Chain A
Amino acid sequence: MKKKLVAILLTTAMVTTGLTGCGSSDSSSTSSTATDTASTSTSASTETSSTDASAGTDTAAIDTSEHVVITYMTTGGAPTNGATEEMLEQLNAILTEKVNAELSIYYIDWTDYLSVYNLTLAQMDGTVDLVGTASDWLDAWPNVKNGAFLELSEDMLKTYAPQTWASVPAENWDLCKYNGEIYLMPEDNYAQWTNHGYAYRLDWAKEAGLENGVHSWEDLTTYFKYVKEAYPDVIPWDSDGTQYAQMVSGWISSHSNYVSIDGLNAGAMWGGTKDDLYTVYSPYMTDTDSLVEYAKMMKEWDEIGVWKTDVLNNTASDNREDYKIGRVAAEQHHTQTWTDLCSHKPGYTIYEDDEDAETGFFYFGEETQNVVALSITHGAMAVSAASKNPERALMVYDLLRNDPDCYKLINYGIQGKQWDVNDEGLRIQPDTYNKDTDAITTNFWWGRNDDLEIKDATMNWDAIDKLYAEYDKIKINYPYGQFVADVDNIQSMINNISEIHTNYMKQISYGKYKGTAEEIVAEYQAALEAAGINEVTAELQRQFDELYK
């Protein structure tokens, strides 16, 4: 009898869940209809776009009689001060006039952002239309593969996002394709450098006898040693124990021509070399001597006291803030962060306390001139496959990215309130600006555009431009943009390899290992091998051969 009861109730449950099944199939059917309408209307309007392909003003020919709300999903905490809404009001007035649509922003808080972001996409009920994504840190390709994003046909792009279509070169569109279809609209016209390195006190480096600043890992050792002795109150670098992967990959860039493949795992453990791009290897297996040397140097740093003894649990540290007020002597992050630290901004007391204070940047790969430009899909916009108004979403995106008024509103806010232009044509904050009440949050990292950017007056452009020019001389473009690895059969190995890498590299990078450097590196490599790193390398090589040969 008990069994019977359970059976009855289970059946009820199944029936109820039948609904779930229906729910999801419903939404997938809506999504496919959405695609259908998209393609039909596209074909209908191809003529218009072909007759007037050059201009982005032919939107009048498209039916926009129905007023729609386009929801744009981005990562980051939602603002609470009301300033963003005020900006959106102005923006929506323009958007309504031009394409009869308005924008609403859907924030994914950083806390648990990966699960909430992916769950929202899996919902597939039109909750979001435009989706900010990134191939290296926000699951762009996995979401393309599991059907979250809409295929953007050339016709669609030409018709509804004509300015974007025209401004992105064909070879860049190729990098946004999977199985021959475009899924992403890349942020490919925005200069930013996210290659990592160390920001340090150039004035102190000079005191330490490094006249030209820090240009190698050995220089860093000298620098840290000097800081420890000369400024006993300063912690050379109050690391929180999370930079291990950047440090070791930086070391490898500085000692070889390794170019890594993005988005496979956090350690970027596979790649080729600048001279031989398409032969896959993992330097973590081959460059043993270099790794041993690295392990020794990090042990030395630990003994010097570069970081706190319990660095691996030091989660409360806020090294970057401490750098600004002179309590630490270095910060490990990317060039973008350095551009901020080297600028004399309000609250950066190191520059007030000491006239000579200067912030230099030692970038990883400097010794070997091994710098790779950012992948253009580091920021990209996609359209949700479940969007009920994909055409209008594209039209809105096209304006946000290319229309000067919309662009300034979404990126900077209202002129005169959040920003203004000074005599030199640089962007400043008005005197009335109050960070607490006026700051806006849009996190529009998926379509910034250097043609419309207004430079920030507070930045130290002399230093920045100099470094950027240096990068431009030596950089190579990210070579693997077209490669979207098919990881179905190797993902479980990659996961375990990442975990081993993290475990050992934390110990090695902070000099916390027991035994000799040779022993720990050997142990690490043996563990990688057992987890199948060679199989993964071979599989990637096979996929490389298919794509590039």
Chain B
Amino acid sequence: MGKTKTKVAKPKSGLSFWQKVKRSRVLLLMCLPAVVFFCVFSYAPMPGIYVAFVKYNYRDGIFGSQFVGLKNFEFLVNSGKLFDLTRNTILYNVAFIILGNALAIFVAILLNEMRCKWFKKVSQTMMFLPYFISQVLVGVLVYNLLNYDYGFVNSILGKLGMEKWGPYSDASVWPVLLVIIHLWQKTGYNSVVYFAAIMGIDAEIIEAARVDGANGWQKIRYIILPGLKPTFIILLLFAVGGIVKGDFGLFYNVVGKNPLLYSTTDIIETYVYRATMTDFNFATASAVGLYQSIIGFCMVMVSNFVVKKIDPDYSLF
């Protein structure tokens, strides 16, 4: 923060805290609703994280319950799968982040280049549709597409006289399938951010480049892509914070509870869900959440630090 302050707010650097408050009272007031909101809905319950360290008794309340230290974390550690699960979760998220953003940028740029208005409208509306299909139905559709006995793919293979394909007993294909399903579902939504960001690029710069004889590819390479960089970095930093949090809905509904596929598809959420099915317990769930938050927090701190080193303008805070 110091750096920005010296750069921009130099004339005010000698002011006391209250003077600063007074000077920027309108801006502070503009932030007030949001600050109150996060106090009320996010910070107020936060001390309740303590539940991860107690044997929760409803009558005594969270803070009156017996402190048990790290006992609630035991189950995850003892499973011997903590590392595998964390790795799976992170690898999937990395694939989702990189490919997801690349495809979203690609689509946004293509859409921006198109001149046919109705085509843009219709296609973008269509791209949004998968976002509305609930994950359970996605699971049903994928099963109907891929299953061995009457799936769409296999009935075509059958007609062509080719051997049937059984993805539900072959774990190795699922990383690819899940990434494709994720991209299919989220790209329409994500590309809107980039599309709007392209709209924010100064039209005059683009125009000037054209007049200077830049071709379409050069325009994209030298103007649009750099213009999307801040948006990309913000998206990235947010995604990094949740890098150990998996998309439970997708994995649970599409892979289902098929142990033949767990070796490549099991993430923290799905494992915890299955293992604690008969032991419903708020404390264990909180402990797992806390573990994920702490790793995410460290990752973000590191990435934000790196970004700040490279270009402070792009950092989150």
Task: Please determine whether chains A and B interact with each other in the same assembly.
Answer: yes
Q: Are B140's CB and A316's CB within 8 A? A: yes
| CB proximity to A under 8 Å, residues B47-67 | 47-48, 55-64
Q: Are B64's CB and A496's CB within 8 A? A: no
* In-complex Cβ contact of A146 among B56, B64, B75 (8 A): B56
| CB proximity to A under 8 Å, residues B125-159 | 139-140, 143-144, 147-149
* In-complex Cβ contact of A148 among B45, B58, B74, B280 (8 A): B58
| Contact A10 B59, CB 8 Å, known A241-B258, A495-B276, A502-B259 | no
Report the interface size for chain B: residues with CB under 8 A from the other chain.
53
Q: Are A139's CB and B280's CB within 8 A? A: yes
Q: Pick out which of these stretches binds chain B: A307-315, A349-357, A421-429.
A: A307-315
B216 CB-CB contact with A under 8 Å: no
| CB proximity to A under 8 Å, residues B264-317 | 271, 274-282
| Per-position 1/0 for B91-125, Cβ under 8 A of A | 00000000000000000000000000000000000
A549 CB-CB contact with B under 8 Å: no
A168 smallest CB distance to B (angstroms): 26
| CB proximity to B under 8 Å, residues A267-326 | 308-310, 312-316
A387 CB-CB contact with B under 8 Å: no
| Contact A147 B278, CB 8 Å, known A16-B44, A20-B48, A24-B64 | no
Q: Are A124's CB and B58's CB within 8 A? A: yes
Q: How far is the CA of A48 from the CA of B237 in the complex (A)?
A: 71
| Contact A503 B259, CB 8 Å, known A21-B63, A316-B140, A495-B75 | yes
18 sample A-B contacts, Cβ–Cβ < 8 Å, listed by A number: A10-B43, A12-B39, A16-B40, A20-B47, A25-B64, A32-B59, A124-B58, A148-B58, A265-B279, A310-B149, A310-B166, A316-B144, A385-B58, A491-B75, A492-B75, A502-B259, A506-B259, A531-B79
Q: How far is the CA of A14 from the CA of B278 in the complex (A)?
A: 34
Residues of A within 8 A of B (CB): 1-2, 4, 9-10, 12-14, 16-17, 19-21, 24-25, 27-28, 31-32, 114-115, 118, 121-122, 124, 139, 142-143, 146-148, 241-242, 265-266, 308-310, 312-316, 385, 487-488, 491-496, 498-499, 502-504, 506-507, 512, 530-532
Residues of B within 8 A of A (CB): 1, 17, 35, 39-40, 43-48, 55-64, 71, 74-75, 78-80, 139-140, 143-144, 147-149, 166, 168-169, 256-260, 262, 271, 274-282
Q: Are B260's CB and A312's CB within 8 A? A: yes
| Contact A493 B78, CB 8 Å, known A266-B278, A309-B147, A312-B260 | yes
In the complex, chain A residues whose CB is within 8 Å of the CB of B40 = 16
| Contact A147 B60, CB 8 Å, known A309-B147, A496-B275 | yes
Q: Are B147's CB and A16's CB within 8 A? A: no
Q: Are A506's CB and B257's CB within 8 A? A: yes
* In-complex Cβ contact of B277 among A31, A266, A487 (8 A): A266
* In-complex Cβ contact of A499 among B58, B74, B148, B274 (8 A): B274
Q: How far is the CA of A124 from the CA of B65 in the complex (A)?
A: 14
* In-complex Cβ contact of B44 among A20, A121, A502 (8 A): A20
